[in-house]
Amino acid sequence: MENNLKKIETPISDKTISHLKLGDKIELYGTIFTGRDAALPKLVKSIRSGENTLNLHGSVIMHTAVSRAGISPTTSNKEEIEENIPFLSESGVRIHLGKGSLGQDTIEALDKHHSVFAVTPPAAALLTSKLKSKNVVAFKEEGMEAVYRLEVWGIPAIVAVAHGESLY
């Protein structure tokens, strides 16, 4: 079996996304943002109102909270998360990092906006070992569900939705 591990640094270009194939194994390096049920709807609202201060162009958003126990993805097809994926992709997010399957409308929106969805194993210890630093950048009042800026080194993932196709 061919080892097709691809190392990807943020910010991510459309060219990089165009070369990803369903089932590719990737490692992410650089800055990623976090968000889940509470923070993602607020982030979308702040973008729409012109109040957002985060540069999302070429970014990664991991669907996770950040706690003392570490980081590990939550289910991405929860309404509060999945309904925001198309708009965030349109706003520059290139990789959404989480777990679970996505609906066909979301798959099509990812393709339209040159974004992909990658899944990570639910292994908090492994993912946390790849964390170099973290700090809250938005919605501090949400505690561990605030938006964090993480510096990571080698977060593993598998491309699960790309170019209108899904592994699920």
Does a structural domain hold residue 1? Answer: no
Does a structural domain hold residue 153? Answer: yes
Q: 3-state SS string over 81-124?
A: HHCCHHHHHHCCEEEEEEECCCCHHHHHHHHHCCCEEEECCCCH
Reading the block at residue 97, the tokens are 């990092």
pLDDT of residue 5: 84
In whole angstroms, give the CA distance from residue 62 to residue 10.
Answer: 13
Residue spans of the chain under pLDDT 50: 1
pLDDT of residue 69: 65
Distances (CA, A) of 6 to 17, 91, 143, 151: 11, 24, 33, 18
User: Which domain covers residue 23, as residue numbers?
Assistant: 6-166
pLDDT of residue 125: 66
Distances (CA, A) of 99 to 46, 51, 54: 25, 29, 24
Residue 38 contacts residue 139 (beta carbons within 8 Å): yes
pLDDT of residue 1: 39
Nearest by Cα to 63 from 91, 83, 92: 83
pLDDT of residue 163: 95
Does a structural domain hold residue 65? Answer: yes
Nearest by Cα to 115 from 105, 124, 107, 123: 107
Nearest by Cα to 43 from 149, 151, 157: 149
Does a structural domain hold residue 96? Answer: yes
Does a structural domain hold residue 146? Answer: yes
Does a structural domain hold residue 23? Answer: yes
Q: What is the pTM of this model?
A: 0.76
Does a structural domain hold residue 22? Answer: yes
Q: CATH no. for residue 121? A: 3.20.130.10
Number of domains into which the chain is organized:
1
Does a structural domain hold residue 144? Answer: yes
3-state secondary structure of 145: helix
